[in-house]
Amino acid sequence: MADFPPHYTVRVSPRAKNIIIKLIPDKGVEVVLPKGVSRRDVPYFLNKRKDWIERNIRKLEQKGLSLTPPELVLPDEICFAASGKTYTISRVVNQKSSLSMRRNVNKLLISGSKWSQEQELKLLTRFVRSEARAFLVPELRKLSFELNLPFSKVLIRAQRKRWGSCSAKGNINLNMKLMFLPFHLARYVLIHELCHTVHLNHSTKYWRLVKMVEPDVEKLEKELSESGQLVPSWINF
């Protein structure tokens, strides 16, 4: 490998007991440090694990994967499959110093004197979260009432890997990216989490309850496992 170490990011985790190296496709190398370990030690540790890192980079490349992040391409249209809504995006450069976004029916107007892709991404992400809150929360409440499966509160998050989660207190987290899935899959995730208010595990009893509500659970689980490709790449940056 010509250049070593490759570009990396550092994250401090209070739960980590050892230094951990992660090779994340499309993201790069992540070094997780326990509390108290100096960031200045990272290059030394990477060089110590050089053979392992290069070997695993080659394995990723053989699978057609890369550590290099893809180019951020912002959309001209946002399609929410769950709600059936589509918004076209227009961009206008004006004299206003602050970046803003205005919605008019099914159009979004982004305007400002000058802005970066990262600034626009934050605006669009905030919009996706607000749309998810406006659509998913009422749907969850409706299902909760219909199924007699009450929950405590609901939060909309930008989780990377999980579509949803439920705590022991009955608090439900929903991933805003559910908006990009077909309605039947988004609905299934809501059912999945509501059933966790009764069984906080994936036991036989839990799956029996899910199947009582949604008999096609096996088919839906398979669809859900393949649905990550439906989420546009820009929202994952």
CA distances from 226 to 123, 124, 202, 220, 230 (A): 28, 25, 20, 10, 8
Strands 8-13 and 28-34, how do they pair?
Answer: parallel
pLDDT of residue 2: 56
Report residue 167 as tokens: 């705590």
How large is the average pLDDT for residues 99-124?
A: 94
Residues 21-75 have pLDDT tens digits of 999 887 889 999 999 899 999 999 999 999 999 999 888 888 888 888 778 899 9
At 211, is the secondary structure helix, strand, or coil?
helix
DSSP 103: E
How large is the average pLDDT for residues 90-98?
A: 88
Residue-averaged pLDDT of the chain? 93
pLDDT of residue 70: 79
pLDDT of residue 96: 79
pTM, full prediction: 0.77
Give which of 144, 188, 146 is closest to 170, Cα–Cα: 144
How large is the average pLDDT for residues 143-154?
A: 97
pLDDT-derived band of residue 237, with 50, 70 and 90 as boundaries? Answer: confident
CA angle 115, 118, 119 (to 5 degrees): 45
Is 97 a residue whose pLDDT tops 70?
yes
pLDDT-derived band of residue 5, with 50, 70 and 90 as boundaries? Answer: confident
CA angle 161, 26, 66 (to 5 degrees): 130
Q: Which domains does the chain have, with CATH numbers?
A: 8-62 (no CATH), 77-236 (3.30.2010.10)
Residues 166-211 have pLDDT tens digits of 999 999 999 999 999 999 999 999 999 999 999 999 999 999 999 9
How large is the average pLDDT for residues 116-143?
A: 97
Asked if omega into 5 is within 30° of 0 (cis), the reply is yes
